[in-house]
Chain A
Amino acid sequence: MFSKKRINLGSAGWFLLPYLLVYFIFFFLPALSIVPMSFTEWSIVGTPKFVGFENYKSIFNDRYFPKTLSNTFVYTILVTLILTILGLLLAILLNQKVRGRGVARTIVIMPYVISSAVAGIIWRWMFERNFGIINTYLQQLGLPFIGWLSDPNIALYSIVIMNIWWSIGFNTVTFLAALQGIPEELYQAAQVDGASSFQSFLYITIPQLKPIILYVTVLCAANSFQMFDEAYVMTQGGPLGSTTTLVYKSYIEAFKSFRLGYSAALSVITCAIIIIITLIQMKANKRSDA
């Protein structure tokens, strides 16, 4: 299946070495240490105490864990789907030779320039129930206030909206670059054969973009599964735990409750789920190749 080709990095290998070394020492190895840590009870001070699977048992017995898990999955699925589809559509739109597309491209990417924390604070103010700008406009239109971040049934979706606004630029630009890599001749040949623009989209654009679509969805899914900033800045995991995600809970357990073993166990579970999701995505991609 795989050709026995030796990967010849050449001089590139030497340039990569410093980064890989730093990555290995300061990220990979510490990340691995989470696994043994998850079998201990530790408050940073003093020696860790080995407790076997106690932390994992506590996690699965925690009455709020199913909610945290479902919050994370719902958020991930929504954000990944919307960001991928919307990103692609926007990219196709911005690929057309229309006037002002340079300006439009800039506008789309601009939100991504600020950090997620800053974006979170901006949106927290906009979403504020009593004097936030969104509700103020709604009120002027005669509509009732919406508890964007204060209604436990809506809060998570409000964060989805904020994240879409913030990250859409990245996906759009990625898809744009990929679109411009598709040879023009393919479309021209299709036109000659009498294909409609929708058929061109379906049978040329999508297949040509498959590797990029996979890249974008894997990245989106892995990133959004680890949502933390928005929960931390906008809602502190509330209201009623409706915006608590796995990573947020992990942070709280580590640095507010000083239960590092428990937090490590949560991280191990999170990591495992992300690996499984990514493997599934890659398998699905391979299958559709065949």
Chain B
Amino acid sequence: MLKKYRMLALLLAFSLVFAACSTASETAETADTASTEVEVPAEKTTIVFWNGVGAPENVVLTELVKEYNETNQDNVYVEEVILDWSTLYSKILLDFETGTPPDIMTIQQSGLYQNVDLGILADLTSFMPEYGFAKEDFIESAWNGSFIGDKQYAVPFDLHPLALYYNVGLFEEAGLDPANPPATMEEFLNAAQTLTKDTNGDGTTDQYGLGLAYSGGLPFRLWMSLLWQHEGAEILSADNTAAAFNTDAGLESLEFLYDLVYTYNVIPEQEQSPDDDFMKGIVGMVISGPWSQFDFNSVEDLEYATAPLPVFYDQEAAWADSHMLALPDTKDEARMAAAMSFARFLSDNSLIWTQKAGHLPVKLSVLESNEFAELEKAQAFAVTLPNAHYYPSIKNESLVFGRDSNSPFVVLMESTLLNSMTPQEALNEVETMVNELLGQ
């Protein structure tokens, strides 16, 4: 009797120990994703880097981290942690509170104000010249975007504006010239309408001119781009305390998008996945940022090209966001210095980031280089750079410019594109929502 239980007890003990061991090695693996082979000599300063850019671009940053660790002369070792944006923005708060934030992390320009306001990020104004970052080397909007007030809180790394993607094959089939993509409202409508057809003669349209989702971030970013194309139009008032978009410009832009779906019928109704529709050849054009190239490039027989966002109204304008590098305020000078050295390396290698991840460089030297000129698809985005607009910088950015179904601008686009409110009603409703949120 006893023997049986002894065996059982031993087995149980072994399985528990085994389970504990495997969990420990798992956590060790996930924490040390960058270089498991490199031995870290004791005198190197180890810093933690949060890579939040998300798949699939994050592999490019991982490669750069590895290169830095193998070649740097700053005596620094970078431990990389890979996250997605969502996790990064919540985790940074928690880790900062418990005193274990990373030393350097990726951040989006749109998330800068909120994190600065919560006291999480270090003021880099004095660091920047020390590490060779100067205003004249960068695109103005990106440089200015890293400032909150007159203090600088991040190193600009890239810019990703919206541009037009179009299917070369479908263009040719429809008799449109792929070398001359639409650049005005008229040309755009013409292209969209020509591309919209019934390809198999069954009486229903199965190919559309443009893909535009009704939900998520992109629809309202496009609407904002159209708004900014009107001279003098803004999303918020100059002091960012009130909505300023419920104007003729706002209405015209919104009505245009509504008409594309319900009057011109060039956008499929209730469209959910425009990028997928583009990849399947269901839509001939799609408006998106450089990030879509990864997926599009993976489709074998998809021949596509990019063009700057057409000028629908008075002037060029397109929504953009930026990836930047920020340092949580750890007050540890040695580690902050190490982090800035790493940031310097990343900035010096931003051409690689552009070549492999597609996001546009913010350094003038890279933009003017021959290597950049060779990147065919990137040129369309570069044209828009001088007229790229960020969201207004506000404290509760995640509330006001959020992308879930209850966020004001998502409500704006969903109500309009799903035809549950007229454009004017939607604008009125959302104006009230935004003013309420800004007042908090």
Whether B422 sits at the interface, judged by CB under 8 Å, is: no
Taking CB atoms, residues of chain A closer than 8 Å to B406 are 64, 237, 241, 244, 249, 252
Assess the B414–A239 pair: CB atoms within 8 A. yes
Taking CB atoms, residues of chain A closer than 8 Å to B276 are 128, 131
Assess the A150–B272 pair: CB atoms within 8 A. yes
Q: Which of A27-35, A43-51, A200-208 is near enough to bind chain B?
A: A43-51
A243 to B404, CA, bound (A): 11
Whether B233 sits at the interface, judged by CB under 8 Å, is: no
Q: Chain B's nearest CB lies how many Å from the CB of A120? A: 14
Taking CB atoms, residues of chain B closer than 8 Å to A64 are 406
Q: Mark B83-95, 1 if CB is under 8 A from A, else 0.
A: 0001000100110
Contact of A239 among B90, B96, B418 (CB under 8 A): B418
Number of B residues with CB within 8 Å of any CB on chain A: 37
- A131-B276, A237-B406, A255-B86 given; A46·B119 CB < 8 A: yes
Q: Chain B's nearest CB lies how many Å from the CB of A259? A: 8
Contact of A236 among B118, B215, B396 (CB under 8 A): B215
A3 to B16, CA, bound (A): 40
Whether B398 sits at the interface, judged by CB under 8 Å, is: yes
- A147-B270, A236-B215 given; A152·B404 CB < 8 A: no
A46 to B415, CA, bound (A): 37
Q: Mark A249-290, 1 if CB is under 8 A from B, else 0.
A: 100100111100000000000000000000000000000000
Taking CB atoms, residues of chain B closer than 8 Å to A151 are 270
Assess the A131–B280 pair: CB atoms within 8 A. yes
Assess the B404–A129 pair: CB atoms within 8 A. no
Assess the A238–B414 pair: CB atoms within 8 A. yes
A237 to B414, CA, bound (A): 12
A130 to B277, CA, bound (A): 8
Taking CB atoms, residues of chain A closer than 8 Å to B370 are none
In the complex, the chain A residue whose C-beta lies closest to that of B270 is A150
A286 to B396, CA, bound (A): 50
Whether B271 sits at the interface, judged by CB under 8 Å, is: yes
Taking CB atoms, residues of chain B closer than 8 Å to A130 are 268, 271-273, 277, 282
Whether A217 sits at the interface, judged by CB under 8 Å, is: no
In the complex, the chain B residue whose C-beta lies closest to that of A237 is B405
Contact of A255 among B90, B273, B403, B411 (CB under 8 A): B90
Assess the B277–A131 pair: CB atoms within 8 A. yes
Assess the B405–A244 pair: CB atoms within 8 A. yes
Contact of A45 among B118, B216, B403 (CB under 8 A): B118
Taking CB atoms, residues of chain A closer than 8 Å to B268 are 129-130
A residues sitting closer than 8 Å to B (CB atoms) are: 43-46, 64, 128-131, 147, 149-152, 235-241, 243-244, 249, 252, 255-258
A-B contact pairs, 9 of them (CB 8 A): A130-B273, A131-B280, A152-B420, A236-B216, A238-B404, A240-B405, A240-B414, A244-B405, A258-B114
B residues sitting closer than 8 Å to A (CB atoms) are: 86, 90, 93-94, 96-97, 114, 118-120, 214-216, 268-273, 276-277, 280, 282, 396, 398-399, 402-406, 410-411, 414-415, 418, 420
In addition to A45-B118, A239-B214, A249-B406, 20 A-B residue pairs with Cβ atoms within 8 Å of each other are: A43-B93, A45-B93, A45-B97, A46-B119, A128-B272, A147-B269, A147-B270, A150-B214, A236-B215, A236-B403, A236-B404, A237-B405, A237-B406, A239-B418, A240-B411, A240-B415, A252-B404, A256-B402, A257-B396, A258-B93
